Structure 1
């Protein structure tokens, strides 16, 4: 998982079967539990898709950059790597998190 740094925001597209179904912003930190599940305590939901058969975008973000990014990414197809159907799209990692992931903390 690698949040992408965009104009002072870290964004994390959440995919289902390769399609972006949700977008988290302000993903500055994350925590991993004993079952290898992640939580994002400071993240905000910018938007989500309500139906994959006939995708309907729900944009929740209140600021223009996050709204624009949600509009662009929601429903689009992104390459992902995952052991399951739900995955986080891999993006360039912010330098402050690279050291932690290499050390096994990310």
Structure 2
């Protein structure tokens, strides 16, 4: 009877599966090493699940929909919204554009 490193009795198929998964992770790390390194330098979040790697820029957490135009980008009279300058989105950590006094 074989015993795993944790002391649990395992059969041959379990050992083969564990070895295959270990090799799989090694290959996945090798294939994605350059892309993961680039994402890490950029400060992106990296999610790994089996053969899929997902990258996400956390700066997108700062983007919110403009509350004045509702994300449409148009204000009164069909002109560009004054708060978001027609973009429909605002950066949460930047103050809105200053209003010009008329």
Which interval holds the TM-score relative to the shorter structure? under 0.3
Normalised by the length of structure 1, the TM-score is: 0.21
> Does 1 or 2 have the higher relative contact order (CA < 8 Å, sep 6+)?
1
Higher strand share: 1
Higher helix share: 2
Normalised by the length of structure 2, the TM-score is: 0.22
Q: Which is greater in Rg?
A: 2
